[in-house]
Structures are given as C-alpha cells and as structure tokens.
Structure 1
Amino acid sequence: MLNAIPRLETERLILRGPAEQDIEPTIAFLMDPTRSEGFGTEPNRSRAWRWFAMNLGHWALRGYGYFIIEDKASSLPCGLVGIWAPEGWPEPELGYVVFDGFEGRGIAYEAAIRAREWAYTDLGLDSLGSHIVPGNARSIALAERMGARYERTYTNPYMGEDMIYRHPSPAELGLAAAGAKEGRG
C-alpha cells in the first residue's frame, strides 16, 4: 500500500514526491549519458519513464525512495535525492543528483543533508552509505563534505564497480532516531 510521501523543507528547497510535472526533467536527466553516469543512464524515453514509475513503486514497497528536489524560488524541479535500496543492494543508500543548470549552488548538499536527517530520525535507520562510481569527483567531494568516508569498493549488481562512502551515524550527528532499524544488510 502506498503511504503518503512526506514533504520535507530546507531554507531554499522542498523535497517532495514525484508528480506528473516532474516526468520531463527527470527523463531528460536519465537519458543524458554524461549527466546520469553513475546514477543509471536509460537508453530511451520508454525506459526512462519506467524508471520514474519504478521510483514510485520503490516508495510503495520500501516506504522511501527518491524525492524530487524543488527550488522554492522558481518552483522548478532541480534534482533527485533520497534513500534507495532495490533488490540486491547491500543496504539503503543516500543518493543525490541535480539536473542540468542547477550545479554549483549547494542544492545537492542542502537536499542530501535534509534527506539523511529524515532517514535517521523518521525512518530510524542507523547507517547510510552513498554508492559512488570511481572517478565521480563531484559526488565524492559532496559525500566527504557531508562527513562521509570511503569504506570499500564492491561490485554493484546494476552499475558495476562502486565505492561506498559511509556517512556519520545518527549518534555522531547528535540525532535521535525514532526506533532504530538496522541500516546495513
């Protein structure tokens, strides 16, 4: 049963559930092999649309997924952030991307900090990693800025070689969890 996707806010951003008006910018991102490298490029519109729908299914099955990042000032969708753990994933992952034209504004950082806080305090997760393809210097820099540290490299069943950057725990961040659930596994 699909529970309501929460709406989270920061000073400049709204993190909300995907809606019909988000399909086109999300498809544009997913079909751009340069921009979506490390996230999962889709080869055509049909596959990209299916990813969009799959994200809604992920919310229904897991109770979490990717939020749309909306810029409060413009009301435009500017990226994706959230917790992702499809079948075969070693643990829930904190993932983040920004759409073309929104880089360099601190949007991914602001959104990822808020999503991580939500995962720890509302979902009760006690551990999160970000899975990053080797060579994605911007994603590595963002993870490190958030306090995450390289843990290991593994073979991701969907993406190939991936590095896990471990985020600080809720206790290390001074956050109280709402009934801790084991994050790894």
Structure 2
Amino acid sequence: MALTNAPRFETQRLILRGPEMADAEPLIAFLMDEVRSEGFGGYTKRDDAWRWYALNIGHWHIHGYGYLSIEDKETGKPAGICGIWNPEGWPEPEIGWVVFEGFEGKGIAFEAALAVRQWAYTELGFTTLTSNIVPDNARSIALAERLGATFERAYDNVQMGLDHLYRHPAPAELDDGGMGAYA
C-alpha cells in the first residue's frame, strides 16, 4: 500500500512508485552503510535511518513530490530511489538518485532519473532542476553529466557541508523538450 499520493509510472525495466512499508528495510540498510550513503548523510543508528525514511513520506505530503521507490520489473525487488528533493535549507529542488547494492552498473539510476526529470518537467511544471552531489562522489557526478547537467557552483549544504550543484538542462534544451512519454 502506497503511503503517499505519488504517481506510479514505468520505464522499460523499472516501476517508479511511491514509498511502501516494504521499502523501509532496503532503504534503511542503504542509509546505514556510511560509505554508500555519504550523499544522504550516512547514518550509524537505525532510528535515524528510519526517520529519514519517514521524512521522505512527509516530504511528499508537504511538497507533492519526493523520492520514488525504484522497483526492478524483472525481480520485483526494490532497486533504489529517485525523485525530487527540496527540504528546508536546500538551495532549490534537486533530482537525486540512489541504487541499492547489487543493482549498480546496470543503467538503473540513469533510466530512473530520465523518467523522474521528464515527470518533473511535464507534470509538475518545473523549468529547471539541479543535482547536489558531494564532491568525491565520482559515480553520481558522471551520471549527472551523462544526463546533461553541468557544474554550476560549490555551496555549503546545511546537512553535509561542501556540496556541488549541477544544473540540468531546461525542458526546451532537451531533444524532446521534456514532453516525451515516460517509457
């Protein structure tokens, strides 16, 4: 059962949907892996990781958007999260992504991020998006650049300190103007 009013849409290999209780354990496991979750704060205590899970649900209710769960169509397993994030203290809405252990290197984050960005432009009416990436996260930087985002500036993230802001192309700068189908 969905815990938010999030949309559900599909790409070629993925289902993107609102968070469900079954998503809590895989997300908490990711958040408690301090190395892999550095860009999300890296938690050492389970209750703090659970609060981040609940924070995302509240974010949906406040903003009408947040992180979607990524479900692998082939296995039915949670593969990560991807969505639009803009909590208090953020410079502006960003598109973020995480792929859980065992799902890396398969293009899942790229596929999910393309779909989420298109949804943000076509359904939510965004005209710009950023991705905020900790400076040493080479994989996320490479993905942001593959998505066409360019480094704009360094700034002090209220949660994680030094962060790099990458600007995504506006809808008019994309080949389909941001108006294509999600699949």
Q: TM-score range by the shorter chain?
A: over 0.9
Q: Does 1:10 align with 2:30?
A: no
**TM-score between the two structures when normalised by the length of structure 2:** 0.93
**TM-score between the two structures when normalised by the length of structure 1:** 0.92
1:62 alignment partner in structure 2 = 63
Residue 178 of structure 2, aligned match among 167, 175, 182: 175
2:121 alignment partner in structure 1 = 120
Structure 2 portions without partners, runs of 5+: none
Q: Distance in 2 between matches of 1:30 and 1:22?
A: 12
Structure 1 portions without partners, runs of 5+: 177-185
Q: Amino acid of the residue matched to residue 20 of structure 2?
A: A
Shift in CA distance, 22/3, structure 1 to aligned 2, threshold 3 Å: closer
1:181 alignment partner in structure 2 = none
1:165 alignment partner in structure 2 = 166
1:77 alignment partner in structure 2 = 78
1:148 alignment partner in structure 2 = 149
Q: Distance in 2 between matches of 1:3 and 1:11?
A: 24
Q: How much has 1:3 moved relative to structure 2?
A: 6.0
Q: Distance in 1 between matches of 2:41 and 2:30?
A: 10
Q: Across the two proteins, how many residue pairs are aligned to each other? A: 175
Q: How much has 1:30 moved relative to structure 2?
A: 0.2
1:98 alignment partner in structure 2 = 99
Q: Distance in 1 between matches of 2:126 and 2:108?
A: 23
Give the CA RMSD over aligned residues: 1.1
Q: Does 1:109 align with 2:110?
A: yes
Q: How much has 1:42 moved relative to structure 2?
A: 1.7
Instruction: Please list, as runs of the form range in 1=range in 2, the aligned pairs for 1:127-146 lying within 5 A after superposition.
Output: 127-146=128-147
